[in-house]
Amino acid sequence: MRIRVLSINIWNRSGPWDARLTLLRAGIEALAPDVIGMQEVMSDGTHSLADAVVEGLGYQTAYAEAKPLGGGITFGNAVLSRWPVAVREVVKLPGAGTDEQRSLLLTEVTTPGGPLPFLVTHLAWRMHHGFVREEQVRAIAAAIARHEPMCEDRLPLVLVGDFNARPDSSEVRFLTGLQSMDGTSLHLLDAFDVAGAGAGPTFDGRTNPFAAPMNEPPRRIDYVFLRGPDEWHRGSVVEARVVLDDVVDGVAASDHFGVLAVLDLAAPG
């Protein structure tokens, strides 16, 4: 079974929201992902920005708060799917004593090929807060160990999000099995590393006018991760690319570009 997965940080309602909303909707409709992980989603408790982005496009949405913004508005993550979504749990991530409030949304998507564990997160953003993100990825690994053991009757796990960390960071190296932390380890495939081309920056002030004011170097910080191959040899990356990167009349869909991956969740042969 092959699925199309998109991860995109939509930059809440910042900038020219109406123009950005048009680009986000058109881009998602053209890309036709089966499942989407979305970050920086705002909600009033009834409707979220995720609902607005995919209105009329045939997706179900599940939203999870990361922090309150005041006035009944919250900020968090969302899963959007062409298939039914069951919200499993919201895990609050540690902030290492900082003002960061982040969460991990664990869901189960009922695909035609079986239950798919689908997780979305958004890690601490400050460039010098690698120590915070290290705590956060360890918490994510612990949540996966508790809730998503490998088993034959469930498809390989997919984790997406804005990790605010480069591929060579300790945080991403831990997630991809290249280093351990505190006697623990994990192994997920970085879809773009497996099947993408070039450096693939997703936060790039050279080409995205909304990223330019941050004066940060171009970095690949948005990911689609897949647990594979598992004990049954399932889980491979077919394709991965940076998307939602067009700038139209000075407007980009977000301050981040997205990542689209085509994943094969079946065993070979």
Per the CB < 8 A criterion, the answer to whether 252 and 11 are in contact is no
Per-residue pLDDT tens digits of the chain, which is 269 residues long: 999 999 999 999 999 999 999 999 999 999 999 999 999 999 999 999 999 999 999 999 999 999 999 999 999 999 999 999 988 899 999 986 777 899 999 999 999 999 999 999 999 999 999 999 999 999 999 999 998 888 888 999 999 999 999 999 999 999 999 999 999 999 999 999 999 999 999 999 999 999 999 999 999 999 999 999 999 999 999 999 999 999 999 999 999 999 999 999 997 86
**CA 151 to CA 168: how far, in whole Å?**
30
Contact 73, 226 (CB under 8 A): no
Dihedral sign computed on CA atoms, order 79, 164, 194, 245: positive
Q: What is the helix (H) or strand (E) element at residue 111, kind and residue range?
A: strand 102-111
**pTM for this entry:** 0.97
Domains and CATH numbers, the chain: 2-264 (3.60.10.10)
Whether the ω angle into residue 201 lies within 30 degrees of 0, i.e. cis, is: no
If DSSP codes are grouped into helix, strand and coil, which group holds residue 112? coil
